[in-house]
Amino acid sequence: MTKKLTIFIFSFLFLQTAFAQSKAWDRHATFGKGMNLSWLENYWNGTVENGFMDYLNMNSVASKHHDLEVMKEMGINTLRLPVCFDVWEDGEYPYEIDMPQYFMALDSILEWSEVLGFNVLIEYHHGSLAENNLEEETERIIAIWKQVVERYGDRDPEKVFFEIYNEAHDIEFSDWQNVLEIIVDSLRAFDEDQTFIVGGGDYNSVRGLSNLIPLEDDNIIYTFHYYEPFLFTHQGAEWVGAEVSTIGVPYPYIGSEMPDRNSLTDDTWGENAYNDYSKHGNLDTLRSWVADAKLWSEVNNRPVFCGEFGSYYKANDASRCRYTKAIRAIMECNDMPWCYWEWDQGFSLFDGAVPGLDGLSDCMLDAWEIPPRDTTQNNVLLNDPCRIYPNPTENILYVERTDLDVPMVLNICDPSGRLIRGMTLCVGLNEINISDLPTGIYGLLFLDMDGDRLFGRKLVKH
Ligand code: BGC
């Protein structure tokens, strides 16, 4: 091979890698804060006799408009919409959707979302794939998706996304890989523009993602779900079982607040998780587990986002707020958008209250960084591009930035101006542990990466 030809081939390969996925990267960059609106996947509201096909009461559609408006007020950009398409048809070839009226529910959500400016991820929830039905189930999933794509494939691809399958499990990684490639290839033939969202096996875990080989299709955003530490996030979750029956587990681990272990967890995974919680129930450990997803994204040059995280309502509110903040901080520092699970059911951020800003506890308002509202101006949100809170604080300080889309430096100084600590702040939410600083007043000095001063603030440490 001549030298010129070699250079040409290498340049071509380099450019291909550099530009691969650029559409998906650009769209991924618009996701921001997201919310799972669980509702259209609640098949259990149907009857067994009807194969759950009668699960959706169309009268429930209208109230969702208000929900979307509240989400907008909360600064949410992306709506993830789990749908149990699995029961929209009766399982008979050629798998034609028998409940076409259900599409009207989706139509309404899409119309309202368009007006409100949301991205919408239409997601295939509660599929029936298993090792023993791979071939026919794959065919069925494709047939169902084709009908969905036929209806929504001409929507704005910058706004409407198709998430192929939720939490594949009990399938070998290699089989899942195979099925996924078949589904994506078949659908791509019908839809050139829409970005598909796909995750790995093992319930969309980080491990599942790490075992996934990126698909050849270059218009894909990859996803994972994050519910670690499971002992905390799923405490008391009836559908999980005895392993998670210890209730009152705090986040982070606080020895004096730990409940006694429920004896139902004896000899189960839940006993070990309880014993390990002092090591695992903290930000650094959670961050280290997410690092594998980030690594996968970087090594493969593929955009990744966290499609579900959250905690069950049986955990205490203060812990749920701290957990929300911690996961947000991890994802945002890793440039991974996220969707909270979920709006108004068991993992709801409203903790049983009617969805609305008034239904959020103070700590949840804080965890969502819902900017202070001006009560004299009809509750208009006040826009502070760099929020620093709580202030005064004792242990943790949050700095949320939406001002510049580049890192900046924060120097913490004592009253005489002596530098105590310096760090780089990422765009989005930063969590800073200041528990080791003596009580007192500090100066917070924000600098750009060249060391030039941007602005300063005062911090009171209790
Ligand atoms: C499931 C929900 C469950 C949540 C947390 C979702 O993917 O569909 O039913 O509450 O994960 O476990």
Ligand 1 atom with the smallest distance to the CA of 203 is 7
What number does the ligand 1 atom closest to the CA of 345 have? 10
Judge whether 288 lies within some domain. Answer: yes
User: Which stretches of the chain score pLDDT less than 50?
Assistant: 12-18, 377-381
Judgement on whether residues 212 and 274 belong to the same structural domain of the protein: yes
Domain-embedded: residue 70 = yes
193 shares its domain with 232: yes
Ligand 1 atom closest to 240 (CA): 12
Q: Of 336, 367, 398, which closes a domain?
A: 367
Q: In degrees to the nearest 10, what's the CA dihedral of 243, 247, 275, 363?
A: 130
Q: Is residue 14 situated within a structural domain?
A: no
Between CA 462 and CA 459 the distance in angstroms is 10
Is residue 8 situated within a structural domain?
no
Q: Are residues 203 and 141 in the same domain?
A: yes
What pLDDT, on a 0 to 100 scale, did the predictor assign at position 454?
Answer: 77
Tell me, what CATH number does 287's domain have?
3.20.20.80
The answer to whether the CB of 52 falls within 8 A of the CB of 43 is: yes
User: Separation of 142 CA from ligand 1 center, angstroms?
Assistant: 23
Residue 446 tokens read as 């924000």
Note the pLDDT of residue 7.
53
12 belongs to a structural domain: no
Verify whether ligand 1 is closer than 6 Å to residue 341 (CB atom).
yes
- The predicted-structure confidence for 285-312, as pLDDT tens digits, reads as follows 999 999 999 999 999 999 999 999 999 9
Task: Please give the pLDDT value at position 65.
Answer: 94
Boundaries of domain holding 450: 385-461
Ligand 1 centre to CA of 448 (Å) is 42
